[in-house]
Chain A
């Protein structure tokens, strides 16, 4: 118990919670933007995140890190773009559930392809010195990535918010998420806007994957599924479609999860670190389905 209440322990738990939250936030933005525009739970997004991690491993094995990272970002953006064009665009006028089934199919395909390529072996992410250097804060030793993550997340979010609020494509995005049909009538090229959403989501997922997997023991083909679902819960918690909501939700889930994992092992509760997220989801959905910042949707008959 004493060890639990020591300052170093609390600080280290909080720091790694904030860091995990930041990584989840980067994935959650991809979910919330796609849902805001297409009303689609993009189940494949978590797997795109996993593929970004694997690409990072393979490419950094051949090239130095500062060249590898831009290539990984470009490839993952291409993947996100391609998934949208190949699997979601043909179903634009189909029922919403068909698109979701297609998303599940893509997720299944990506996982199986990853199993094939890696041969089912867990892969270890290369150490990035700038991220894995150990430092000391309030007596708690942690890795530098823990400090870099929240700062980077905030910078990226500031950029994204500027993009959405002050550029033409951002305005188009806001219009499409308000009313799909009307914005089409106003001459907005829907497909470009949707592609842009997937490009932004995938790019943020790459950054998230670099930060997430450097401290993660190994990447398996299913490594993306759980963080993906958690980020989606974060997006729902913050009010789906709202970017600040998704970020706050992600930080909350990240911190709570690390706290649960950090409780004494004699309580045997660490198995619930994932379940907690889903319990939170069910509570939120039944009490306040619109989330923290969600707009109240009106039912049209």
Chain B
């Protein structure tokens, strides 16, 4: 009974923390319009918000990769392929009818004579509140479809591919992603996928900013939306990991033979993990398309998968909170904090050596190699960020201060 109460209190606290976080995000992105004269960093175009949006999207993809690689022990490198499926599904379904001729101008219009945006607009209307409802519905349905298509493909290739062991599985999934990339660039499918050209004009995060009749932004929600969607999906993954399925996944990761002997169906659980992970990668792909406001097969290369894998390693393989922390650190470093390394800098008349375009990524990859070689546990190892953990950390810091002050006195 006591345990149950504790668990309930924990859930409540987690939900409260999420609400506070979401409120904080809303305040953060609107503060510059509410209070004039804030520092430039709070302006909506600053790198802070790029990092937050990209971080929210990549967190979801990293967590979905961690579900497969860290919790089930299936070393898959097909993430970019499933993201591509998600991004294209979302884009194809939500490009408004009015924009189709312009987007598909090389092919004389699209073969998909249907758009979720128009379908919902005919239900709820186009302007005002009805317009907002229809856009939200279209985006949500589009995202769910994106996930479902990715999951469907995962189920199809899962049967042959999941029989393979460790590195063979990795290379087979990597190959699958490359095949998908070729198919989506195929000219013959142009009326659907727009060939090698990008799909655009579909609803993006910026469309969630609430505008008044004059077209001025009243309330910015373009960072809040990716946070909300990403948190929702990650919560589902966390719940899954804490369920009996999650325990079965971990058992398979730790010892396949022992897990099978305990009566866990290997194939069923591996397939489940693969399909669910791909579903969320597909959702992540749709969010990524919304973030960059286009969908293009060229972007989803194996380098993207490697990036996400390195994020998971930095955060700690087998830790959800680690993946999230790792993502934000990675994105912040690569998009923002290390930017100064790319600019030629002069101290007085002395030119700082080595600093020029591209140096940031060199430093960055050296840091990653150091983490991979010497801190293979990553930031969190297999542990999660918990209230007790944070409390413990604070307690640890306190005696140090005391000891330090005691040292001064002595």
Write the residues of chain A forming the contact surface with B, with a CB cutoff of 8 angstroms: 39-41, 86-87, 90-91, 94, 96-98, 100-102, 104-109, 111-113, 115-116, 119-120, 222, 225, 229, 232-233, 236, 268, 271-272, 274-275, 277-279, 281-282, 285-286, 289, 301
Contact = CB atoms under 8 A, between A and B. Distances in A.
Interface stretch (B10-18, B161-169, B322-330, B399-407): B161-169
B185 A112 contact: no
13 contacts: A41-B170, A90-B373, A91-B373, A104-B309, A109-B368, A112-B364, A119-B357, A233-B171, A233-B175, A268-B186, A275-B179, A281-B175, A285-B160
B373 A41 contact: no
A265 to B, nearest CB: 10
Contact of A222 (B171, B179, B303, B372): B303
Given A119-B358, A268-B187, 7 more contacts: A101-B313, A102-B373, A116-B359, A116-B362, A272-B186, A278-B176, A301-B257
Contact of B186 (A101, A271, A281): A271
Given A116-B361, A232-B171, A105 B183 contact: no
Q: Is the interface of A mostly helix, strand, loop or mixed?
A: helix
Contact of A106 (B163, B183, B362, B369): B369
A39 B167 CA distance: 9
A278 B365 contact: no
A119 B357 CA distance: 7
- Majority DSSP secondary structure for residues of B touching A: helix
B157, B167, B303 interface centre (most CB from chain A within 10 Å): B167
Which of B172, B175, B179: most chain A CB closer than 10 A? B175
B174 A229 contact: yes
A105 B307 CA distance: 9
Interface residues of B, number: 46
B145 interface: no
Nearest to B77: A104
Interface string B151-195: 000000100110110111011101110110111011110000000
Interface string B323-347: 0000000000000000000000000
A289 B358 contact: no
Contacts of A120: 357-358
Closest 4 A/B residue pairs (Cβ)? A278-B175, A275-B182, A116-B358, A112-B361
Interface centre among A40, A41, A91, A104 (most CB of B within 10 A): A104
Contacts of A116: 356-359, 361-362
Contacts of A222: 303
B167 A100 contact: yes
Given A104-B310, A119-B358, A278-B179, A97 B166 contact: yes
Contact of A96 (B166, B306, B368): B166
Nearest to B357: A119
A255 B367 CA distance: 41
Contact of B182 (A96, A98, A225, A274): A274
A98 B376 contact: yes
A101 B309 contact: yes
B179 A279 contact: yes
Contacts of B293: none
Contacts of A301: 257
B166 to A, nearest CB: 6
Contact of B369 (A109, A111, A277, A278): A109
Contacts of B178: 229, 274-275, 278
A275 B309 CA distance: 22
A233 to B, nearest CB: 7
Given A97-B75, A268-B187, A278-B175, A113 B309 contact: no
B167 to A, nearest CB: 5
Contacts of B166: 96-97
B33 interface: no
Most buried by B among A90, A225, A236, A286: A286
Given A97-B75, A120-B358, A274-B178, A281 B172 contact: yes
Contacts of A104: 306, 309-310
Nearest to B188: A268
A275 B183 contact: yes
Give the most central of B257, B307, B368: most A CB within 10 Å: B368
Interface string B129-166: 00000000000000000000000000001001101101
Contacts of A86: 373
A274 B176 CA distance: 11
Nearest to A221: B358
Contacts of A229: 171, 174-175, 178, 302
B362 A109 contact: yes
B2 interface: no
Contacts of A268: 186-188
Given A104-B310, A274-B178, A112 B170 contact: no
B269 to A, nearest CB: 19
A289 B164 contact: yes
B390 interface: no
